[in-house]
Structure 1
Amino acid sequence: MPFTTPLAVAIYLTIWWIVLFAILPFGIRSSEEEDDTPTGGDPGAPVAPKLWIKAVVTTIVSAILFWLFVLYVKWMA
């Protein structure tokens, strides 16, 4: 591992958050699109955000990207 443990964790968490924000919009349907807006509710609120599935996908994609980043840093050294 070309990084110290705290640096590796910081890099992984940074990658994880960036990937999460990239994945969040996929598959979202608003309550307005579903004609299911409750009284006083925000019409742009998602009906079923499926956050657990997105967290798992984010973790897998981030692990792959982190592994590729580690390989790149080793290759450049």
Structure 2
Amino acid sequence: MTWFSGIVVYILIWWTALFVVLPIGTRPDPEGDVTAGGWRGTPREARIGRKLLGTTLLAAVLWIGVWVVIDSHWISFRSGPFSLPDR
């Protein structure tokens, strides 16, 4: 994997992991204060900093796993069951 494709894969994993981490620990406000700009169901405390840090750590662990699989040639499209037949 080149450095450019590594960055692209990390960004894709990070973005996907963000949507996994966002709902964790979110408690909705049942009443909602409309005068303050809140609606029913909006989170009381978003804790977005923690969620961004958690997303970054999760994406780093997943990216290392993807990098190991790609560089180890466990899954290869050049040889093995996933390869194209010779002409």
Q: TM-score range by the shorter chain?
A: 0.7 to 0.9
The aligned residue for residue 66 of structure 2 is: 69
Specify the code of the residue in structure 1 equivalent to 2:67.
V
The aligned residue for residue 21 of structure 1 is: 19
TM-superposed CA distance for 1:39, in Å, is: 2.8
Distance 2:71 2:2 in 1: 14
Q: Which runs of 4+ in 1 moved over 6 A?
A: none
TM-superposed CA distance for 1:28, in Å, is: 0.5
Aligned pairs, how many?
A: 72
Over the matched positions of the two proteins, sequence identity in percent amounts to 26
The Cα offsets for residues 3-58 of structure 1, whole Å up to 9 and x where unpaired, read as 222211110000001111001101101111xx4x1135310111101110011111
Q: 1:8 and 2:3 equivalent? A: no
Distance 1:15 1:53 in 2: 18
Structure 2: tracts of 5 or more residues without a match: 77-87
Q: Which of the pair has the greater relative contact order for Cα pairs under 8 Å at 6+ separation?
A: 1
The aligned residue for residue 42 of structure 2 is: 45
Return the structure number with greater helix share. Answer: 1
Distance 1:73 1:16 in 2: 18
Q: Which stretch shows the higher mean deviation, 23-32 or 38-47? A: 38-47
Query: What's the TM-score, normalizing by structure 2?
Result: 0.75
